[in-house]
Chains A and B, each alone.
Chain A
């Protein structure tokens, strides 16, 4: 396992499967009356959030606390520059206080990479979302959810080979899309992006996925459809004409969902914009995994923190021998 987690593209297939397998073990812990492991006792983790994100921060915090780590939350609204203090100074201050790992969320693409590679600090860096670049733990929790639903709970050691995954929406501004394309490809899935051409980046043709402008044509061949959030303000920058037109062409409603295979699931990284990319009917249906994704996020982040910081001991005593050998 690597020292930092900056990009989903840095994970090998075996790394990723190890995280998913470890997350299954963590999930079992969460089913116990006492949901706590001693793995990171005495370790201090700082959640360094330069951008508001209550859900991601709470998810990391829950994961850290379940591993018995001491947690420091640092919320710096706006950019480091507007605060007058540089990212470098903030990071060095935290390290001087004895932080063992930094979970960073930043509006600037590449900020976690800079933090990990500039020699500013030594602590492991975990990217909790940077600009429009990457959000690797989101991709891992999504893959975990897909594996559970599409392969099975006893899928330890397995990847997503041959699964057909469709991502729909604002790919251009989405770190979730970038991370998912990278990780799903690594795990053997076939990925298709569906979006209006304005919301796909120039250069997308070099990505390891297919691209379509036609959602209806792709749905019957999708084992999972992930709806990406579309911010209403994109409309004002002429990415699409109106909210209603976007919904008609790229939104997922009950009729469209019916075109999916029976086993197909609907995913969303949240927060959903109901009535825009997804209707309430779909969001509240059994096929929609949004709430599961949130729960899985804690298991997956526990696995990432454990593997990056926890050393070589098996996470829990009942870990299967075949897995612990890999650690």
Chain B
């Protein structure tokens, strides 16, 4: 394998350094490194980060290849600066057996753009009734450590308790989609001032917060760790903050869209803003940003949810929930967290690479940028400004809420174990 010299990048936004990649590994980090026979990447003015890790992606394969495949999803991930993505289990068939998770894992290997770590379903068919063979999925070639019924809540308290306990045997973690089902029947958007006016069924904050409160208490009781998916309300932040202060082993994620968008956008009745959990209020957005800055929320995860055009080009109630996010995630984080002074680039590396890799036990990812480490890296041009143009997405779907919106930053290069997957913003 060839050598690559990344010249003059600000490593984690700090000192300007050269980084020499030899084969799959970072060979040296320093200033004025000799290029020798290495290919030189001029990175002046750019930020070098460890390859990003997304703990929450929907790759849709098997079953909904019309919206995304493992190949197109990992290509989108590479363009977004990711070197590892965790693929959610709500495929068709559901990833609730060793066979399905191994299929997704193998498709990821074959794609070569980004490592794919399958997530296993907690319960058979995501039905919340009966535990899936969690151990078999862990012991499979896919080596599953994260389990989630995402899209649905594990609402039965006993099933949740058992799952939390059971996965301790192999260091697993349950990632909960916190949504009390009875409180959200027919829910279409955040319940509040806007839903009252628009006549759309409300998704109250308490439906999320009550499940999080229950689950952190369950995790404490059985001594397990628990991860909370896409936290979306100021109240949820308070509960997680309280749980952490009590020493409960809880981690939490926030999506880029919940850091930026509010339910005011729903006034357009444009289903591109329909997502689950729903867009909340300005107050929630500000609380989420603060919580991500102070570490109450551990990570950013995209909840990349591709849908074909026809599932969004319709009336609100008929539309699918979800937004694509892999190719805009870092730009939104730069816009909402870095440019507001809430987080520096080292903080971004922590929230989007180190911590998610740690929670998901993604070996070889989220490592420091130093000699001897795997060369999973991404280069960002933070000075770039441009309108989001979904036509240029690698993802098979175009359901972005940011079309036409100016966002900062652009991924110029991504390296997966020393191999460039993105060069000058284009797939390699």
Residues of chain A whose beta carbon lies under 8 Å from any beta carbon of chain B: 79-81, 86-88, 106-111, 113-114, 117-118, 130-134, 175, 178, 201-204, 206-207
Q: Point out the residues of chain A lying under 8 angstroms from B176, CB to CB.
A: none
Considering the complex, which residues of chain B in the window 141-188 have a beta carbon less than 8 Å from any beta carbon of chain A? Answer: 188
Any A CB within 8 A of the CB of B82: no
Q: Point out the residues of chain A lying under 8 angstroms from B195, CB to CB.
A: 201-203
Task: Assess whether B192 is in contact with A203, with CB atoms less than 8 Å apart.
Answer: yes
A86-B199 contact given A106-B315, A110-B316, A113-B269, CB 8 Å threshold: no
Q: Name the CB-closest residue of A to B200.
A: A109
**A204→B33 CA distance, assembly (Å):** 65
Q: Point out the residues of chain B lying under 8 angstroms from A110, CB to CB.
A: 198-200, 269, 315-317
Any A CB within 8 A of the CB of B310: yes
The 10 lowest CB-CB distance pairs between A and B, nearest first, are A203-B196, A133-B199, A110-B269, A132-B199, A108-B317, A201-B196, A203-B193, A109-B199, A111-B315, A108-B315
Closest chain A CB from B294 CB (angstroms)? 29
Contact of B199 among A87, A88, A175, A204 (CB under 8 A): A175
Q: List 13 A-B contacts (CB under 8 A).
A: A80-B315, A81-B314, A107-B317, A108-B318, A109-B200, A110-B198, A111-B316, A114-B316, A117-B268, A132-B200, A178-B197, A201-B196, A203-B196
Q: Name the CB-closest residue of A to B317.
A: A108
Interface residue tally of chain B, by bracket?
Answer: 20 to 34
Q: Point out the residues of chain B lying under 8 angstroms from A106, CB to CB.
A: 315
Q: Point out the residues of chain B lying under 8 angstroms from A206, CB to CB.
A: 193, 196
Closest chain A CB from B359 CB (angstroms)? 34
Any A CB within 8 A of the CB of B313: yes
Task: Assess whether A134 is in contact with B193, with CB atoms less than 8 Å apart.
Answer: no
Closest chain B CB from A107 CB (angstroms)? 8
Any A CB within 8 A of the CB of B191: yes
Contact of B202 among A88, A117, A133, A202 (CB under 8 A): A202
Closest chain A CB from B288 CB (angstroms)? 21
In addition to A86-B310, A88-B313, A109-B269, 9 A-B residue pairs with Cβ atoms within 8 Å of each other are: A86-B314, A108-B315, A109-B317, A110-B316, A111-B316, A118-B270, A203-B197, A206-B193, A206-B196
Task: Assess whether B191 is in contact with A202, with CB atoms less than 8 Å apart.
Answer: yes
Task: Assess whether B204 is in contact with A202, with CB atoms less than 8 Å apart.
Answer: yes
**A206→B270 CA distance, assembly (Å):** 23
Closest chain B CB from A78 CB (angstroms)? 11
Any A CB within 8 A of the CB of B35: no
Q: Name the CB-closest residue of A to B185.
A: A237
Closest chain B CB from A93 CB (angstroms)? 15
Task: Assess whether A79 is in contact with B318, with CB atoms less than 8 Å apart.
Answer: yes
Any A CB within 8 A of the CB of B107: no
Q: What 0/1 readout, one digit per residue, does chain B (196-235) give for beta carbons within 8 Å of chain A?
A: 1111101010000000000000000000000000000000
**A203→B318 CA distance, assembly (Å):** 24
Chain B CB count within 10 A is highest, among A109, A175, A206, for A109
Q: What 0/1 readout, one digit per residue, does chain B (94-122) give for beta carbons within 8 Å of chain A?
A: 00000000000000000000000000000
**A285→B194 CA distance, assembly (Å):** 39
Task: Assess whether A86 is in contact with B316, with CB atoms less than 8 Å apart.
Answer: no
A134-B318 contact given A88-B313, A203-B193, A203-B194, CB 8 Å threshold: no
Chain A CB count within 10 A is highest, among B197, B202, B268, B313, for B197
Q: Point out the residues of chain A lying under 8 angstroms from B313, CB to CB.
A: 86, 88, 118
A130-B318 contact given A88-B313, A110-B269, A113-B269, CB 8 Å threshold: no
Task: Assess whether A88 is in contact with B269, with CB atoms less than 8 Å apart.
Answer: no
Closest chain B CB from A268 CB (angstroms)? 20
Closest chain B CB from A90 CB (angstroms)? 11
Task: Assess whether A81 is in contact with B199, with CB atoms less than 8 Å apart.
Answer: no
Q: Point out the residues of chain A lying under 8 angstroms from B200, CB to CB.
A: 109-110, 131-133
Task: Assess whether A133 is in contact with B315, with CB atoms less than 8 Å apart.
Answer: no
Chain A CB count within 10 A is highest, among B193, B199, B318, for B199
Task: Assess whether B192 is in contact with A114, with CB atoms less than 8 Å apart.
Answer: no
Task: Assess whether A131 is in contact with B199, with CB atoms less than 8 Å apart.
Answer: yes
A201-B202 contact given A113-B269, A114-B269, CB 8 Å threshold: yes
**A86→B317 CA distance, assembly (Å):** 12
Q: Name the CB-closest residue of B to A50.
A: B315
Q: Point out the residues of chain B lying under 8 angstroms from A80, CB to CB.
A: 314-315, 318
A130-B192 contact given A108-B317, A109-B317, A114-B316, CB 8 Å threshold: no
Q: Name the CB-closest residue of B to A106.
A: B315
Q: Point out the residues of chain A lying under 8 angstroms from B270, CB to CB.
A: 114, 118
Task: Assess whether B317 is in contact with A131, with CB atoms less than 8 Å apart.
Answer: yes
**A147→B367 CA distance, assembly (Å):** 73
Chain A CB count within 10 A is highest, among B193, B269, B270, for B269
Closest chain B CB from A110 CB (angstroms)? 3
Q: Point out the residues of chain B lying under 8 angstroms from A201, CB to CB.
A: 195-196, 202
Chain A CB count within 10 A is highest, among B191, B270, B310, B317, for B317
Chain A CB count within 10 A is highest, among B192, B194, B195, B198, for B198
Closest chain B CB from A277 CB (angstroms)? 20
Q: Point out the residues of chain B lying under 8 angstroms from A203, CB to CB.
A: 191-197
**A178→B196 CA distance, assembly (Å):** 9
Q: Point out the residues of chain B lying under 8 angstroms from A87, CB to CB.
A: 314-315, 318
Task: Assess whether A204 is in contact with B318, with CB atoms less than 8 Å apart.
Answer: no
Q: Point out the residues of chain A lying under 8 angstroms from B191, CB to CB.
A: 202-203
A108-B197 contact given A113-B269, A201-B202, A202-B202, CB 8 Å threshold: no
Closest chain B CB from A63 CB (angstroms)? 25
Q: Point out the residues of chain A lying under 8 angstroms from B318, CB to CB.
A: 79-81, 86-87, 108
Closest chain A CB from B263 CB (angstroms)? 11
Task: Assess whether A178 is in contact with B199, with CB atoms less than 8 Å apart.
Answer: yes
